[in-house]
Amino acid sequence: MQHLEYGAQLRAKAAIVADSLKRLGHLGVGRLDEFPSPREFEYRNRVSFVLRRTYAGVLAGYHAVDSPDEIVDVERCLLAESSIQEVWRALRASWGPGASQLPMAHELRLTLRAASDGRVGLAIEGGRGSGETARTLLEAAGLAAIWSLDEKGRVTWHAGEEVLSERWGRHHVPLAGTAFLQVNREAARHLETYARKQCGGVAGRRVVDAYCGFGLRALGLAEDGATVVGIDTDQHAIAAAQGVARVLDGGMSGMPGGEGVPAHDKARFLAAPVERALAGELPADVVILNPPRRGIARAVVQALLRQPPERIVYVSCNPATLARDLGALGSHFALAACRAFDLFPQTAHVETVATLTRRNPV
């Protein structure tokens, strides 16, 4: 196997971000700093495969790069954490002829996700019925849970454990289905530390964490003394965030501006599309944006321009939509800092944290 030397990968990714910001966002940036992943391989805690049943048998792997309709059978993914690799090998060996133990369909999407303690869950999308999931759990060593998802990504039934408890920082997150957490847990810790720092001093400030997922960043900022609103469409993640907020022990005594105020009173979470909910949660001192690859909707841009916060911290997985969105916000905000983080070694993907400051203080 041949691959680009890792230092060259980092430089190329930083150059991709800088070039996108210049060409698409019309932002003059120099060479960006890039933060490397602690692991070059075996870093992904979540991997999705396509399983296709054919007359010749079962193919299970990835879509071919140069022929998307073709499935390349994959016995081992070098980017997956070792626990996922072990379960994938055991699952392939135990699912029976024609993958008969799994729900019926011509094609299934199988997502394996690993918790930090090594337990692995399997999320199945696209199937009918439950198959022989009890047998699959018994025979696929290391597999602790199976979830079935509907077309909206909601868990409709499960076998084994209902959720896997994931340790993320100082909080436990109940993993189920395909709910979003960064796939590279080690590199994500460095990104989160940087993003939190870019928010500045938040004690006594109002923060909106848009596309907040499980709300871990929002909870951390609340513990730092901010009043935080987290917004996300994922109802499972928001319910988990609300649960974590309720069980935070103690309070926030000893923190500036937070004496005697329980942590859950400082963090509130909404299950709603950001483009619908953001305007109603402004004004704010700091807004964090962490959208999917398509970037932020025009309604989000308009809300931020109408009631501009002092600072925006934008976490992006797509340099092109990041550049587009920063350009759209450019009349009211200046780019103050930008750093690339390699959460996806051996791929062309790169994560970026851009910090914007309001041009004309109100």
Residues that are catalytic: 317
Type and span of the H or E element at 228: strand 227-232
Q: What CA–CA distance (Å, rounded) separates 297 from 329?
A: 12
At a CB cut-off of 8 Å and minimum separation 6, what does 159 contact? 130, 133, 134, 136, 137, 145, 146
Q: What CA–CA distance (Å, rounded) separates 177 from 179?
A: 6
CA nearest to 309, candidates 285, 293, 274, 288:
285
Q: Report the DSSP pairing between strands 311-316 and 286-289.
A: parallel
For residue 97, what is the DSSP state? Answer: G
One-letter amino acid identity for 208?
V
Phi first, then psi: what are they for 95, rounded to 5°? -80, -5
Type and span of the H or E element at 210: strand 206-210
315: three-class secondary structure by DSSP: strand
Residue with tokens 């910090």: 355
Q: What CA–CA distance (Å, rounded) separates 71 from 64?
A: 6
As beta bridge partners, residue 314 has 289, 354
CB 247 within 8 A of CB 239: no
CA nearest to 193, candidates 228, 232, 221:
221
CB 244 within 8 A of CB 220: no
